[in-house]
Amino acid sequence: MRVAMVVPAELQVLTGNAVDVLRWQAQALDSGFEIVTVAQGADALPPDVDLVHAIHTTKGGIDAARLAGDRLPLVISVCGSDFYIHYHEPRWKQAVEETWRRADAIVLWHDGIKNDMIAIDSSLAPKLRVIGPSVRLDDLSRSTRESWGVGPDDPLVVLPASIRAPKDPLYALSALDRMRAEFPTLRFLIAGAIRDTAYQPAVSREIARYPWAEFLGPIPRGELLGLMRAADAVLNTSPEEGFANSVLEAMVVGAPLLLRDNAGNRAAVRGARGEAPAALLFSTQDDFQVELTRMLRDRELRTAMGGAARRHAESRFSEERERIAYRDLYFSLLETDAYGRLSR
């Protein structure tokens, strides 16, 4: 079997979706088939393709539907912004709906998105498949906080997020500035790619007002993992989230997490068990400041939270479970014989 994966144009930088695609390609080889990537806007598919899988409805799915036509099975992965933002924008709504109707299967990260999609169009229900993500940590860095210019006793808060409005990367600044009265050596580091060049200058100007805050830009994934592992708190400040790779990666490396209360973040920690929470959630600026202050004051709480997060991620988001789920989905959409060989 050969799968053409239609991917957003920005996957030339190491976004969360790019990390997913690299992981899925490795899993495909483990399962005995091949995934070849096709860039958004391509005119044709590679030869000998059996199935088309698009990442993100508007950034891959619309093109994938055109390329697949009526002859190839089509899978669409809904990533978050395509549903929570683009579906509700008049310029995208019709194209998104048509793409979902054309798809043979729609993959979602968690039940929250599934329930929301059924609420707007119950006819989609039979083709919705929930496959949670996993994480592959084969490039974990040994970097320490000192390697980022942070002292051993300086409170370190990290936001792994691309620079674009849906990630709300400036959300934490005012609360962190107030907290400096209690934590005068606090450092705030933002790491991620610039995904919206029109938005980036405003972000840079705002960060420049706070000498204790710094935008690192995109850093190698292994170094980002090491940075999160060294942090006293790792944030997710997105108002809406499909399922952030950075949250799952922070869980696996045992980082204490403070997450904005949205469907994706709730799904990430749902079902976690133990005396300590796998993450703390916040809904308002006041909640954020209260919970982060609690975390920074209590080293034992941070250690316990990191351990709870790691155990939860290892038990619920295994790579083997994800590999089997995609393998089974692909083959279910194709006519195969008893040995899994394509008969078409």
Q: Which two tokens stand for residue 155?
A: 């409170």
**CA 162/CA 164 separation, integer angstroms:** 6
- pLDDT by residue for the chain (344 residues), tens digit each? 999 999 987 655 556 677 888 889 989 999 999 999 998 889 999 999 999 999 999 999 999 999 999 889 999 999 878 888 888 899 999 999 999 999 999 999 889 899 999 999 999 999 999 998 888 776 666 677 888 899 999 999 999 998 988 899 999 999 999 999 999 999 999 999 888 889 999 999 999 999 999 999 998 888 999 999 999 999 999 998 878 889 999 999 999 999 999 988 998 888 777 778 999 999 999 999 999 999 999 999 999 999 999 999 988 888 899 999 999 999 999 975 444 544 54
Classify residue 342 by its DSSP letter. B
**CA 192/CA 244 separation, integer angstroms:** 13
Put simply, whether the predicted model's pTM sits higher than 0.85 gets the answer: no
Answer whether 330's CB lies under 8 Å from 33's CB: yes
The reported pLDDT for the residue numbered 341 is: 46
The reported pLDDT for the residue numbered 339 is: 45
